[in-house]
Structure 1
Amino acid sequence: MEIQVSSDLFMEIPNFKLGVIEYKGITVGDSPQMLKGRLQMFQESIFFELEDKTVTDFPGIKEWRSIFKKLGKDPNRYRPSAEALFKRIQKQNYLSSVQSAIDINNFFSLQYQVPIGIYDLDCLEGPVEVRVGVEGQEYIGLNGRSNSLDRLIIASDLIGPFGSPFVDSVRTPVTLDTKNALQIIYLRPSTDLENANRLTESLMNMFIQIHGGEGTFRVLG
């Protein structure tokens, strides 16, 4: 799948980086107990950490809020998806296990403090471009609402926008029937290239360990 970042986005957010992973021949199912246990324990650890700090004290959350604000979106109204996860944990509304692909997404999103999207590759019509949305663009999101994409970072294929570090659309989610997937890690721009590659590869390796199949990764930016 051809994936590119628009030059306009690079102009607005210097050092913008994406980790991109493509999976082939995976099997999505119930999460193994190892993943369920790690997800639960990590959420409890974050909850106790939040007794002495606020969600916006976490460097990844803070950096992604600043990106939304720079692009013209109020981060108090349009929270980066990773921040929304932290807010749930702060209220002890812990994330329960959904299925293996979503659980890994949530686990690494909490660990890296960045938004991560995963999409059914067979629902996409390439090429894919990551850019800034414009006025009038919207889609029904996984939050069940129609979401304006104006001035949000979006991932778009030939059909139209399908993903964002705010909320993804209902058009391309990974399900139990998914065999091929595209994962996009909205890395912190401050992350150096060596660590960006290391983080992306680490996620890919754990995903393949659980789902089988094959994966390839690269960092754009």
Structure 2
Amino acid sequence: MVRLTIDDEIKRLVPRFKIGAIAYPSIVISKSPQMLKGRIRFYQEELALQLESNDLKSYPGISEWRNTFKLLSIDPGRYRPSSEALMRRVKKSEFLPSVNSAVDLNNFFSIRHHIPFGVYDLQQLEGDVLIRLGTKEEHYLGMNGRENQMEGKLLSSDEKGPFGSPIVDSKRSAVTEATTQALHLIYLQPSMDDEECEQLLQSVGKMFTQVHGGDYHCSIVT
């Protein structure tokens, strides 16, 4: 299991900040099976109907992560948590395109639980992982196809530097059909208790390995 820690500055600003981590030591990623794509599409259609009459901020995960960004001096109107960005697309019936089985499930988990999720190729990471705020010099090519300046943004980093964020992840750590080991980072709501967190991680790990094989190892980092 990768050693994961949270920077003291984040814990000072958000005392109940916590991250869920799930390691998958041996998986097989492929194009999403038709059954999985159908289930995810059906869920998005149901969610789009709900969002016609529900404001995004009425979802506790969305509102709590917007508030967490504010506590970290990140403008959630300018830099949206990835879960909110995905749900805004669904609200406009811009259903999420299929990428591969791991990315599709990751996005499904994010809109299902209304919190940011990130899944990363463990073999592209080096050393321990630290959750912290970015510095002025830090940037990376993101999954949005742009060079993203990471100053002041919440991010995950290894010995090479930043590789992920609940805003946008880097291409360096992206999972592909060649990935055989992965790390899931789940940006848990600070208000969740340990039992809720554990239930969520076990549910995610079980479903992910049902699709990709192998086993999983969970931890909650505070």
Instruction: Give the TM interval when normalised to the shorter protein.
Output: over 0.9
Equivalent residue for 1:81?
A: 82
Q: Is 2:155 the partner of 1:154?
A: yes
CA distance in 2, matches of 1:31, 1:213: 17
The alignment status of 1:65 with 2:84, answered yes or no, reads no
CA RMSD in angstroms comes to 1.1
Q: Which amino acid aligns with 2:102?
A: A
SS at match of 1:97: coil
Deviations 1:33-64 (CA, angstroms, capped at 9, x unpaired): 33212211111111111111222222111111
Which residue does the alignment assign to 1:97?
Answer: 98
What are the Cα deviations for residues 173-210 of structure 1, in whole angstroms up to 9, with x where unaligned?
Answer: 00000000111001110111101011011100111111
**Counterpart in 2 of 1:214?**
215
Unaligned runs of 5+ in 2: none
- The equivalent residue for 1:17 is 18
2:30–2:100 CA contact under 8 A, matched in 1? yes
Amino acid across the alignment from 2:91: Q
Q: Could you report, residue by residue, the CA deviation over 1:93-146 in whole angstroms, capped at 9, with x for unpaired residues?
A: 001222100111011101110110011000000111111112232111111112
Contact 2:10 2:72 survives alignment (8 Å): no
* AA in 1 matched with 2:3: E
CA distance in 2, matches of 1:34, 1:216: 26
When the two structures are superposed, what TM-score results if normalisation uses the length of structure 1?
Answer: 0.97
Count of matched residue pairs: 221
Q: Percent identity?
A: 45
**Partner in structure 2 of residue 174 of structure 1:** 175
Q: 1:110 aligns to what SS in structure 2?
A: helix
Scaled by the length of structure 2, the TM-score of the pair is 0.96
The letter of the residue matching 2:131 is V
Unmatched segments (≥5 aa) in structure 1: none
Q: Given residue 213 of structure 2, which amino acid in structure 1 is its aligned partner?
A: G
**1:124 equivalenced with 2:125 (yes/no):** yes
Is the contact made by 2:119 and 2:174 (CA closer than 8 Å) also made in structure 1?
yes
Aligned mates of 1:134, 1:58 — CA distance in 2: 31
After the TM superposition, which of the residue ranges 108-117 and 130-139 deviates more from structure 2? 130-139
C-alpha distance in 1 between matches for 2:20 and 2:54: 29
Runs of 4+ aligned structure 1 residues displaced above 6 Å come to none
Inter-partner Cα distance in structure 1 for 2:32 and 2:166: 24
Cα distance in structure 2, aligned partners of 1:61 and 1:192: 17
Distance 2:20 2:107 in 1: 16
Using the alignment, how far apart are the partners of 2:170 and 2:200 within structure 1? 25
Give SS of 1:187's match. Answer: coil
Matched, 1:204 2:205: yes
1:118 partner SS: strand
